[in-house]
Amino acid sequence: MVMQPAPAPVAMQVEASHADWHYRVGDTAVFAVRATRGGAAVADGRVVVQYGAERMRPMRTDTVMAGRDGMRVRAALSTPGFLHLTARPIDGTADATAMVTVAFSADAAGR
């Protein structure tokens, strides 16, 4: 009997459109979400993307196809604070979750 090696796990990457992760209220953040396995894009994997103001009820939770070129997610906050976005393979563990937390008018947070 020949044992097949276990497939490499799916890895997620999330990149915010502003390199410093800072936005102003009124801006829309755009997140590039990609799923890869062994460095190659996973086109047919299903991914759960969730975002919202941190520690608040999520604004959206979507299950989407990863796509060969990844996907774009647009999100914004209407008040100063931080928006937290996670992406994970639908059958992945918490370890497979990629996250990014971006600021919206951080200099006015709490005021």
Q: Which residues bind another protein (CB under 8 A)?
A: 20-21, 53-56, 79, 81-82, 99-103, 106-111
> CA-CA distance, 96 to 88, in Å (whole number)?
6
Nearer to another protein, 48 or 67 (CB): 48
**What's the closest the beta carbon of residue 89 comes to another protein, in angstroms?**
19
Nearer to another protein, 95 or 111 (CB): 111
Residue 83: which of 109, 48, 62 has the closest Cα?
109
Nearest 5°: CA angle at 27, between 21 and 30? 55
**Two structure tokens written together for 36:** 């890869």
**What's the closest the beta carbon of residue 21 comes to another protein, in angstroms?**
5
**What's the closest the beta carbon of residue 61 comes to another protein, in angstroms?**
18
